[in-house]
Chain A
Amino acid sequence: MTRIRFSFARGEALKHISHLDMMRLIQRALRRSGLPLVYSEGYNPHLRFNLALPLPVNVTASEEYGEVILADPVTPDQFMAAFGEQLPAGLDLTGAWIEDDYSAPALPSTVGAALYRATLVAEEGCRVDPVQYRQTLDRLLAKEEILAPKTKKKKTKKVFVNVRSYIYEAYFNEPEKERPLELYMLLQAGSRGGVSPFFVIEQLEKELTVECNYKAHWELHRERLYRDQDQFLKPLSEGM
């Protein structure tokens, strides 16, 4: 059996689909590719396939990861050709390699954090005041407690979690002419819990003291994924 990992980018054309849609899309693309796929045993066989971290709806990404088990040896080039051909516009396969260590943990359990970039897009004729945004962000980060509702299945009672510690870093880009305001957020993610970039932005907007009298919206992009190793974050791409 061959364990293949691959990286891909998601563009504008596909940013509106959900994680479940992505899972179905990729699995069907794999099924069309003619690659020697492996299915689980049992009544309801499913593909031996994983994505590293769900990508939220309305978010583009440059460096996402997936892995799939194949029955026969396949070179990364063969994989790239066969699978890449079956992907729709908006989903670009950027790399593939063989994971020799068959006992390596499954991809989802290796993810520890993700870096997001949120761009503030103002409608024509609107001027955004960067200073105000920077000050507001400082105020938000100075808090010791930021409570986020935690949705537990089948429980109606709302539970709140302090997610302040999940926000590892958050900063705006250096001001430049003709360049929109960009907020970078390094957020904890994965099986140990995390915080949604949309939630952080929502908190930021709540903190804005001056009423917004212009129309603007945020566009989100996930830059890369990290693993949490010996207390240090390393890009997931390293050592893969």
Chain B
Amino acid sequence: MQALDTKLKRLLSQVQKPARYMGNEWNARQKDHAEAAVRMVLAFPDLYEVGMSNQGLKILYESVNSRPGMLMERAFAPGMDMEELMRAYDQPLFALESGKPLAEFDLIGFSLQYELSYTNVLNMLDLAGVPLYADQRGESDPLVVGGGPCAFNPEPLAPFFDFFVLGESEECLPELLSGLDRLKKEAPDRKELLVRLSEWEGIYVPSLYQPAYKEGKFSAIERTDSRAPAVIRKRLVRDLDRAPYPTAPIVPYLQAIHDRAVVELFRGCSRGCRFCQAGYIFRPVRRRSRDKLVETAKQQIAETGYEELSLASLSSADYPDLEELINELDRGLYGEQVKCNLPSLRLDSYSIKLANRLHRGKRSNLTFAPEAATERLRRVIRKNISEAEIFSALNDAVDAGWQGFKLYFMIGLPTETEEDVEAIVDLCRRLRQYFRHKSSRKIGISVSVSTFVPKAHTPFQWEPQLSLPEVTRRQEILQQGFKKMPGIDLSWHDAETSFLEAVFARGDRLLAPALEKAWSLGCRFDGWSEHFSMPGWRQAFRETGIEPEDYALRRFGYDDLLPWDHLHCGVDKAVLIREHQKAFNIDKPEQGEAQ
């Protein structure tokens, strides 16, 4: 950071991991504010090491900073210790590249990856000295914009944001920024500017839409300006080979959660798992060409010095001719000592073969997500693997020398019964017995169980979450079941955290005051178990007259207007309804794959 003043330097010597706030990393861009017509700061509402693991952030950073006349800097949620010092010393939230306060930028763009980062969004606005509510901001305040998966149902955040960008913004953001410079000169005031912006594809200006409620429940939404579109359609990158992608990503000083080079094989996923929001909002599947991937990987390794390369996507084994890609990467990176890895392995023999092919060194653990333990329930969620396939894939893995597995399951899925939960225990018991007889080595099995959260724009968007007491009871079934099974390591997600996530994932604007209240009561980093405070949230809901159960446990009907129905994710509601119905008629044969 160039403009580190003495006060800030002093603060950095007193906090944990000061490198979170330093900036100045290798490949960070220092662009001149005087030469940029539009200045944006990308605000990530979580710690530096989480935000710097997000590939979207790196893509947007590249897409804006590779253009002349505009710049993008970064800001992250300060740790609790840093926040305390910043408040004590009147240090406003600053951008890492220039050290300038966020309020001096034209735009503050929040990356909305996760519902439980919402209190951090408010906290960052407050630390930046920017009024929390959009209607309290004046002509000289920055525009506050949100994007990312949560922008597909941003209603609980609506009053705090000037606008949202729906869908993929690496191509439209630079367009938007140059257009904004022009619009600012033409539009007489902020309000008119926002109306004009709303005419752009993918831009949602929530203040131009007025919701109505019947008996405390969302029932209708009306436009307050006829120029705003009735339905906002998402932005989409058509050709990934031509879309901006970092060739020289920032190399953090401190270890980020994912600290490695990343090439994105494709976007979207053809699997169509019914619980998976990413599988729906990133449709259709678009691939990067093999040549482009190899070229990008070589550039990234040369520019960063990274020792690891991740071949990322929602289901990497689905990339056509993946083995040929790996061969070419091997040739292209020969002698560089780069380890390749493939996240999101599927439970089939082909994936195991790939893992064997890629992995050098000790074969420790492989991670898979069967999600459900009975074939029936897997068909309901459209994770169509048979038990025979699971056994045969894991068998191949053990034969290849892998030491153990981590298996991800979900509880609370629609139609789940107690038998389905007990089947998790049973499946693991049988796996354990099978490998005990088969292998002289000890095969470690660890099981991680999360709670299903119904998400907007998925076939399960109408479904309620399982009630808190019932989630707790099913978690107890698992704990009891695994107690008698030494050698299996069980972990589970906190039920209350998933409950809160469900409240906001399908929430509406009535939740905004509760969110502000929770923040003012000190709620921060709600996704971090060491900071999450359910009592704080309960108090916030009570004081703002919200029954959170009404949100998490609500079953919507097909005729109900959903709070996010005016936002189009690219998949028609009719398709979601069809998939929803199919989930409950799994005996009928499936036809073809999702597009």
Contact = CB atoms under 8 A, between A and B. Distances in A.
Contact of B253 (A21, A39, A86, A217): A21
Interface in B220-270: 251, 253-255
Interface of B: 1, 4, 9-10, 12-13, 18-19, 22, 24-26, 251, 253-255, 302-307, 336-337, 360-362
B26 A88 contact: yes
Contacts of B26: 25, 28-29, 88
Contact of A32 (B22, B24, B305, B361): B305
A38 to B, nearest CB: 10
Contact of B362 (A12, A14, A18, A43): A43
A222 to B, nearest CB: 15
For chain A, the bracket of interface size reads: 20 to 34
Nearest to B307: A31
A58 B251 CA distance: 20
14 contacts: A13-B1, A13-B22, A17-B22, A20-B255, A28-B26, A28-B251, A29-B26, A29-B305, A30-B305, A39-B337, A43-B361, A44-B361, A58-B13, A88-B24
A17 B361 contact: no
Contacts of A45: 337
A123 to B, nearest CB: 9
- Top-10 shortest CB links A-B: A28-B305, A43-B361, A16-B18, A31-B305, A32-B305, A21-B253, A17-B253, A58-B13, A17-B19, A16-B12
Contacts of B307: 27-28, 31
A30 B304 CA distance: 10
A89 interface: yes
Interface in A145-198: none
A113 to B, nearest CB: 25
A205 to B, nearest CB: 15
A121 B244 CA distance: 47
Interface string A1-45: 000000000001110111011001101111110000001000111
Contacts of B9: 12
A143 B305 CA distance: 50
Contacts of B12: 16, 58
A58 to B, nearest CB: 5
Contacts of B304: 28, 32
A88 B302 CA distance: 16
Contacts of B251: 28
A30 B305 CA distance: 8
A43 B24 CA distance: 34
A39 B338 CA distance: 12
Contacts of A44: 361-362
Contacts of A27: 305, 307
A130 interface: no
Contact of B255 (A13, A24, A88): A24
A200 B592 CA distance: 72
